[in-house]
A and B are shown apart, each in its own frame.
Chain A
């Protein structure tokens, strides 16, 4: 569809589409929105590496692809290594990599493929300093395999292998802080983002593009199928994740932390706000919710302190 120039000028997000209709994501899928924004930010000169995850299916089975960009489908635990290899080959072939006019190499992997099985390859990628962007879309479980817990699954969440039963639920561990592990590598740029805040996400994608070396973005991506949430509530849930400080938006840039919350003055909403539309949390008692709230408070205070000291 042709978009008139005067309309284009008013848009803060590019009108061009490189992620096409006909993809096979579920209704209300956060990851598919994420892919759309990444392509809007980087355009056709992008090479994706996508491991086993929902996006393998979303992008489409042979001979189709819903992405207008080159894409290498790879094995579950290899995203970090494969984008390293792609970047090395581009350099050997004389391509400009990263930067405004360079080729963008993007690893696009779920939380299971990043926080768990792919963590080693991610660490290797970060430590070696490849010019590429790694985006972990975080839907907090192994969704494509049928909603099993990952290291990124939060306390209290029902999944098929940590079910909530008549007596209790099994997921007693808090969400693994992958972004903290990433920052421990002291890379030039890391950030959290959310599909509920697309302008913020786009800005971070652009910053990742401009910054030489490895960049990492953890994108909060609701999954109505796995979260037992209404398909029209994905954005609202994602927004509440930020507003409750369950998933705060921030950037880490060359040693400095910066919190990018929609309103810095407001105190975070109570965690119940985030939980309310999601069937996966229905097994939680008041005490359980308090446990989660304490964790959120603790992590939020820690982040604020980091931003204060290293801001």
Chain B
């Protein structure tokens, strides 16, 4: 069957819901939270209208139970999905470890939202990055198209390596903003993403399993090692699946870091999620103004694309790391990660951390220009002014 995309104008949340439908997810357990709610509302609407077959929808009483029920469903062999945001994701935290430790290929959409207090419902990456060490993979979407594609690819990757995956989109900037999304006809999604073939299930009654049992110090260590190896394996699988997706549907995701006009760049802006759309637009404008700049969008934060970062860092003089998040007592989280990767290599570009857009503060093309001016100056001087710059601070 020839690929003819179906174009729909949808919000990021609806893009996620359509991807869940097209992935033929069997169990969705979820709890509402702004700005995630319209994902599960749309899925429930599909169900109510008979547009999805064979979906069990479990409207649970908390996010903690949403993840627990999703875990139960996935362990039973079903393709399972949930979605949440911010406080909800924090409430799930314990069970995120459980999903990864039990090696269940659940896919979840997290709508990136700032943590309270003060209360905020706007975009910020701290919620998802606080889940960094739970053993989940993390895919950051730049736009609604990437939300849709990300969910479909994540199921494929997760089910190949038995590691759960989070697809992350920005609060309101993507979740509630409508854009054209090219969707894939169901038959072609089915070819790309066949039914899940679980490694084990709770339904083998002649050969029963006890999953998640106590492991003594003699065994626990090896379980962790296997999860670590699965993340290593995932890097390979992500590239293969991303390439396959490109060959089938024209959008190539074989790079874990998407490089934009970096070939001859003096310095690049590095970041994750929707703010990189703004950055790419700014790069085009800055190029016309004579800046030799590029953008490096980190798509997969876990597993971390260390090798790709090294290749990039070898060829640039500076990296402006844009963090829509902050680790208190330290610096932006992506900044720490990126510096850490490069420490034992011979690539040592000047690296500066810009804390931007916390709690949904606007981040515009003009902001990128100001950062470019600052980066240019410090590269010419050969040293940093400050390492961590709270860029928007009202002084």
Contacts and interface: CB of A to CB of B under 8 A. Distances in A.
A91 interface: yes
A71 B213 CA distance: 9
Given A93-B76, A121-B68, A62 B219 contact: yes
Contacts of B390: none
Interface of B: 26-27, 29, 54-56, 58-62, 64-66, 68-78, 80, 94-95, 98, 102, 202-206, 208-216, 219
B208 A68 contact: yes
Contacts of B203: 47, 70, 90, 93, 95, 103
Nearest to B72: A85
Given A45-B205, A70-B203, A85 B71 contact: yes
Contacts of B214: 56-57, 60-62, 73
Contacts of A64: 210, 213
Interface in A52-67: 56-57, 59-65, 67
A85 B80 contact: yes
Contact of B65 (A68, A78, A86, A95): A78
Interface string A18-52: 00000000000000000000000000110101000
Given A78-B68, A103-B203, A123-B61, A89 B209 contact: no
Contacts of A60: 210, 213-214
Contacts of A124: 60-62, 65
Given A70-B203, A71-B211, A73-B211, A88 B219 contact: no
Contacts of B27: 85, 88-89, 92
Nearest to A52: B214
A237 B371 CA distance: 75
A123 B213 CA distance: 26
Interface of A: 44-45, 47, 49, 56-57, 59-65, 67-75, 77-78, 80-86, 88-93, 95, 103, 120-121, 123-124, 127-128
Contacts of B80: 85, 89
Contacts of B54: 92
Nearest to A85: B72
Contacts of B212: 72-74
11 contacts: A63-B219, A70-B208, A80-B65, A82-B71, A84-B69, A85-B58, A85-B69, A88-B58, A89-B73, A95-B203, A128-B59
B78 A82 contact: no
B72 to A, nearest CB: 3
A59 B213 contact: yes
A88 B61 contact: no
**Residue of B29, B65, B211 with highest tally of chain A CB at under 10 A:** B65
Contacts of A63: 213, 219
Contacts of A49: 72
Nearest to A91: B56
Given A59-B210, A92-B73, 20 more contacts: A45-B205, A47-B76, A61-B216, A62-B216, A65-B208, A65-B213, A67-B208, A70-B209, A81-B66, A82-B72, A84-B29, A85-B27, A85-B71, A89-B77, A92-B27, A93-B26, A93-B203, A124-B62, A128-B59, A128-B60
